[in-house]
Structure formats: C-alpha cells, structure tokens
A and B are shown apart, each in its own frame.
Chain A
Amino acid sequence: MTSLPEKQNKKLGLVIDLDICVGCHACAVNCKEWNTSGHSSPLHDIDPYGDDPTGVWFNRIHTFEVESEINGSKTVHFPKSCLHCSDAPCVTVCPTGASYKREEDGIVLVNPETCIGCKLCSWSCPYGAREYDEEAGIMKKCTLCVDKIYNENIPESDRVPACVSTCPAGARSFGDLGDENSDIFKLVEERNGYDLMPEQDCLPTNKYLPPREKNNQFKNDALNSITNDNDFSFDTWKEIVEDASK
C-alpha cells in the first residue's frame, strides 16, 4: 500500500498565480475552517489564546522579496500547501502504509486509523506539507478537500477545494493537471508554470505561475520625453505654477 500507484488516472492539483496573490491569508483561514470539521477533523490548536499559540494548518502564506534589473523590487506572496507529488517520498517512507496516493485522482492522504505518528513522512517532504497533530498523535495533511470536491450535497460550482473557492483575487485554480486538454493544463503552458525544488525529484503536481514582467515601456517613454526636452525645464514648471497661483 505504501508503494506509489503504477499509473494515475487523473492528476488533481492546484495552480497558484504569484502574479495575482495579494497575501490576504483567506485561503489559509478557509482551509482551516473547512478541514477542522471535515475528513481530518478536528485540526487541534495548542494554547490558542495564550502567549505561544500553535496549531495544525494545511496551508500557509510566506512572503518574499524578488528583485531584478528589469522589474525592480517586488513583494511576492507565496501560498504553500501539499503539492500532491507524483513521486511522493512521504508515501514510500511510511512504515505502516497509512500514507497513500490514490490511483483514481492522485490525491495523497493519511489513514488516521493506522498512522503511528512516527513523523518520518514530514522529514521526507521538502515542502513542509505535513502537519503533526500533537493532540491526536497522528500526521495530517492537505486532502485537496476530498470531502468537498466530490460532495454531491453541495452545488456543483462549490465542488472545488476551500482555498480555491474562497480566494477573492482568483489566484488559485483547481483541475486535472494530467489532462492536456484541460483549462488548467493550458494555463500552465501559457504562463510557464513551474515546479518547486525540481532537484528534489518529487514531481509535484501543483504548479506555480511566475509574476508577469512589468510593462514599463510607456511610462519610461513619457518620462524621457519630459526630461530630454531642454525647453521644458524647471523654470518652465515654476512659471506654470506661479501662473496658476495668480
């Protein structure tokens, strides 16, 4: 059971657009909200109102500064949850078979009945996707909202992961990344979507879209036309301002 499935019928996953994400943390909050009453419930908090609160979260938003000569400096908000890797090391290291990857859709899950809480899967994951629940004594993780995306009791439009349906900016997309005809696959192709830490050889399903290049051409042209025009000097500005104040 701990071995990875030989083939994957589908590769369900997320695509996160770093150009759009505004770092509002709504996806993390709604993730906690849905999952604390769903498949992995409850997601325990320790000392939630005290000095040193910690708790189980499947989704976290980090922030980085990205500088380049062309685009200048940019703040990049970086949401990160389980990437549901095709070659998931967290599955193969599991000694009990509690950690498994589903053949039908590629979702990586933990069986709470057989997990012994050895934490080895969390060590083997380069992305920090695994969350140990101290109170329950077992490992938990992003389920890609498996209890929401197939839930026939809710409207069809709501059958996407909680983080996707809640994102106010539309920075998160959900779909089958193994299907070359899917919108999400085309989006990744079009925007040069990439893998995190490819050198770790995990073949993550989730992709990230880089921030778009800034188009500064128009702004630069307008500025140049003002500064290069010798007649249009400081004195000209002064005259205009003085005229206006009269």
Chain B
Amino acid sequence: MHPSKSIIFFTVMSGTGYGIIICLSFLALIAEINFSYGLKLSLILISFLFITLGLLSSTLHLGHPERAWRSFSQWRSSWLSREGLAAVLTYIPLMLFYLLWFLEMDIFKYFLYSASILSVITIYCTGQMYASLKTVPAWNNVYVTPIYLINGLSIGSLSIYCLTRFYEYEIQHLYQFTLLSLALCLMLKIIYWFHIRTKSTSSINTAIGLGKDNKVSFFEGPHTGKNFLTTEMINKIKKEKANFLRLCFIILSCVLPIYMIVQEATLIIDAFILKLSFFITLVFALIGMLIERYLFFIQAKHVVSLYYGENKV
C-alpha cells in the first residue's frame, strides 16, 4: 500500500497524544497526579499539539478537505466515520480536563477518565479501519488494532517519562508502566512480523478464477504505464531495506528508551546532558514509530496486485 506521509504523521502523532492521556489516567487511578505547573503545562501543550496536528494532517490527503465534516455521518457502518466522530468527541472532556487540572480542581479526574476512554475508542477505530480490510491480508488480523493501541500507549508513557526527567520529577509507578508498555510494543510487533510472513488469502488462481485445473500466470498488464491502482495499492520495498528499517524501529523506539530508563542511574553525565539525552531519546523514539508506520503500509500487499503480476497475496 502507498505510504501516505499525512496518514503516517497523523497516526503516529495523534496516537502519541492519546497515549499521553491514557497513561495519565492510569497514573491518576493509582496515585495523585498533582505535578508542578511547568510539567502540567508541558503535558497539556504536548498532548494537545500532537493530537491536533495529527488530526489536521489527516485531512491533507483528502481530495476535498473542506468536505471533511461530512465524514461524521456514517458511523453506523464505517470505521473511518467512527474514528472521526470519536476524535472530535474526545475534545470535549479533554479541554475540560486541561482546564480543571490546571486550576487544580479535583473533579478533573472524571474528565480525564472520559477523555481517556474516548482516546482508546479513537485509536481502536483507527486500528479497526485497517483490520477490517479483507483486501489487505497483512492488516486483516487480530494484531493490528492492539498494535495501534500499545504503540500509542508506549510512546505516550515514554513522553511523560522523558518530561518528568526533564523537570526532575518522580511519578509513582510510571517507571514500571513505561517499561512494560515498551516491552509489550516490541513483543507484539515481532509476533506480527512473523504472522504476516506466512499469512495469505488470495492467489492469482482465485483472482482470475481459472486455477482449479490450470496453471495461471501473468502475461501482460492492461497498459505499459502506471495507473491509480498501481501507485496507490502496489508498492514494493526490498527485503534488505525493510529488515534494516525494522531494526531501526526496534533500536530507536524500544531498545534505546528502555536502556535510557533502566541505566539512567549508571550514566555519569551532568544533569543538563542527561535532560538533553532524554529529549533526544523521545525524538528518536518518535522517528522509530514513523518508520514502523511506514513499514506497516509499504509491506502490506493488496489483493489487486494479483491482476498486476503477483501470484499470492
């Protein structure tokens, strides 16, 4: 599938923003989250900017962005419509949470919880939109939606962790929570990669329909040039390059953050460098996530490629 820049940016950024909110609600469940103003303000700004910039970017790939409001109407059947609706609804409790949290009014928790539930629903809808596409076997499985959720959660909690190091603030249980979600994120992705290696549903035989007693092979396409289908649905990446990018994701988004969190105490560097390195860790982790999302698209084969020379999808 075509790795559209605006969709990759949208899913990673919004996912991170929602992940921050979900992680905060977990922390609020088990402990007090009355941080310093600086930390609060940073968390509010970062989560708001990530969510909003992501959503705005998602409209960039539309042919008619000015008609985007129409997409709220078909929530009965369309996961994309549900996603849009959930994303907009999230803003209501989210803005109230920001305000009440900043004003230190205790009822902020209820708005945080509702914003968190709606965030989960939004990411769930995004995942389901891909997972429900039978035409792309690499997406049509039980791993895709959990991956979207855990990726958002892991990078969201990592964002909070890096910010707390920046403000030299300790939050109870955040250490374990971040490590656990990062490890889960890595584990799930590796299981997914093994899964898509073997998964296949359609073949040139069923696509042409003559494969029962015959050997069917591709002879020539409808024309010598490219067309909408080949540019949108048929994209290839060399195996070596894909493996290299997978390794980049593992190191940037999982191994490096885990190393930084676990080995922080043993790093003999001055406070400023330490803060800077946590900032860099977060940036690298985000780049790793962008790489992961790029691979999610470029490595997914669409069954229409069976009409353009592929034998099995």
Contact = CB atoms under 8 A, between A and B. Distances in A.
Contact of B209 (A2, A93, A200, A208): A208
Interface stretch (B173-181, B210-218, B252-260, B282-290): B210-218
B36 interface: no
A18 B210 CA distance: 10
B78 A200 contact: no
A226 interface: no
A78 B204 CA distance: 13
A97 B304 contact: no
A175 to B, nearest CB: 20
Contacts, number: 191
A178 B1 CA distance: 35
Interface in A124-148: 124-128, 131-134, 136-139
Contact of B303 (A71, A118, A195, A200): A200
B224 to A, nearest CB: 10
B49 interface: no
A2 B222 contact: no
Contacts of A3: 76-77
Interface residues of B, number: 58
Interface string A9-22: 00000000010000
B219 A137 contact: no
B272 interface: no
Given A137-B64, A198-B206, A96 B307 contact: no
A64 B74 contact: no
Interface stretch (A34-42, A53-61, A180-188): A53-61
A150 B209 CA distance: 32
Contact of A126 (B1, B216, B304): B304
Interface stretch (B94-102, B130-138, B154-162, B189-197): B130-138
B78 A126 contact: no
A29 B139 CA distance: 35
Contacts of A2: 74, 76-78, 81
Interface string B217-237: 111111101111101110000
A24 interface: no
B222 A64 contact: no
Interface in A173-211: 194-201, 208, 210-211
B134 A200 contact: yes
B207 interface: yes
B64 A199 contact: no
Nearest to A23: B220
Contact of B302 (A62, A123, A211): A123
Contacts of A201: 134
Nearest to A57: B227
Contact of A96 (B61, B67, B133): B67
Given A54-B226, A126-B135, A199 B76 contact: no
B172 interface: no
Contacts of B71: 95-96, 116, 118
A76 to B, nearest CB: 7
Q: Which 10 A-B pairs have the closest CB atoms?
A: A117-B63, A137-B63, A60-B222, A95-B71, A128-B304, A95-B81, A96-B70, A2-B74, A95-B80, A68-B214
11 contacts: A62-B222, A64-B217, A93-B77, A95-B80, A95-B84, A97-B70, A116-B64, A128-B233, A132-B232, A196-B206, A197-B207
Interface of A: 1-3, 18, 28, 52-57, 60-68, 70-71, 75-76, 78, 80, 89, 92-98, 114-120, 122-128, 131-134, 136-139, 194-201, 208, 210-211
Given A117-B64, A125-B304, A126-B303, 6 more contacts: A1-B73, A1-B74, A64-B218, A93-B129, A95-B81, A116-B65
Interface of B: 1, 61-65, 67-68, 70-74, 76-81, 84, 129, 132-136, 201-202, 204, 206-210, 213-223, 225-229, 231-233, 302-304, 307-308
